[in-house]
Structure 1
């Protein structure tokens, strides 16, 4: 992990441990609530791993705090400004693609705003989110393929799509140029704990 990724992993681990302990939960109890293995949770809390977005969603949902709160410490102000370069990079590719969570709201109805950059060949697959989740996506540069429940849609710069996030879906860069898109995710009722079983080791 690079320095910024490592610092983010440590911050996330600290927040997970703090939230778990404030509920009086053991690691085994959190593992049962999330469907994530105890070994993975230990690595997350120690900041020793860069967990997948799916794993972070399971943990944040079980803790009832939402993904934005998990990756950013609470601030005592109603207005939160994220400056350029300050978002939480939660996905990256070997070729230089990045998925950055730049803003989010608090529970129970969580909205996440993402800035994605993908280079040709990059693909990110996402498991089904909690029931009722919706996603909105607009392409700023390049072309991307969005696959929702097995159906593919090719989007060019300026195109937008809305789709249910509670089915399997993926994004991928197509063509020869890098692609950039904004993604908004609406997840109602965070903390209900109704995610499908995890497969993370």
Structure 2
């Protein structure tokens, strides 16, 4: 693992512990609220394992934060102007999905992230991650299959999809080429 990923994962682990302790929650309390095992949360907080995107979304939701909100708190407050070189990157250890936090501030209602989803990979996110947000996905390149509850959508470069009521969602790249897409969301 490289130094940048080590630093990001360490900051995420510290932030999760801080958020949990600030609420005076035990590991069991967070586990129950996030629907993630107590052992997994303990390993994440100790830096023994890297959380997947799905697990981070569940933990963020338990704190009533978006994934971007949790990552921003881990990195510290962002300025209004965020240079590309300064945008936080996070890689899902399971799928290789890379999330670049293009824009996010606690005092602004809109968040923007750029996602790179490798060929043949998918990321599943629970409905709980969509309860406090409204989201639009715009495909920049490649093909993206979005399974939103019982609905299935295939998006090509230039296509966009506004999400409906909260539902379990799977983002899948079933092609042999990487898919790049933007996520624009606002807090409800």
Interval of TM-score (by shorter of Structure 1 and Structure 2): 0.7 to 0.9
Query: Are residue 143 (structure 1) and residue 143 (structure 2) matched?
Result: yes
Are the structure 2 counterparts of residues 24 and 145 from structure 1 closer, same or farther at C-alpha, using a change threshold of 3 Å? closer
SS of corresponding position for 1:47: coil
Match of 1:177 in 2: 177
- Give, in angstroms, the shift of residue 13 of structure 1: 1.0
Q: TM-score normalized by structure 1?
A: 0.75
Provide the rounded CA distance (Å) in 2 between the counterparts of 1:13 and 1:40. 12
2:51 and 2:93 in contact (8 A); partners too: no
Indicate conservation of the 8 Å contact 2:50/2:93, yes or no.
no
- Asked whether the 8 Å contact 2:122–2:173 carries over to 1, the reply is yes
Count of residues paired in the alignment = 185
Alignment partner, residue 199 of structure 1: none
Contiguous gaps of at least 5 residues in structure 1: 189-201
1:79 match: secondary structure: coil
- Taking the TM superposition and a 5 Å limit, the aligned residue runs for 1:1-201 are 1-72=1-72, 73-75=75-77, 79=80, 81-84=82-85, 86-91=87-92, 97-106=97-106, 111-128=110-127, 129-131=129-131, 133-164=133-164, 166-188=166-188
Tell me how far apart the structure 1 counterparts of residues 93 and 31 of structure 2 sit (CA, whole Å): 25
Structure with more contact order per residue of length (Cα contacts < 8 Å, sep ≥ 6): 1
Distance 2:87 2:79 in 1: 18
8 Å Cα contact 1:65/1:106 also seen in 2: no
Distance 2:27 2:86 in 1: 33
Q: Distance in 2 between matches of 1:48 and 1:19?
A: 19
Structure 1 residues 132 and 8: CA distance shift in structure 2, 3 A = closer
TM-score w.r.t. the length of structure 2 is: 0.79
State how far apart, in whole Å, the 1-side matches of 2:93 and 2:115 are: 10
> Are the structure 2 counterparts of residues 131 and 91 from structure 1 closer, same or farther at C-alpha, using a change threshold of 3 Å?
same
CA RMSD across the alignment: 2.9
Gaps of 5+ in 2: none
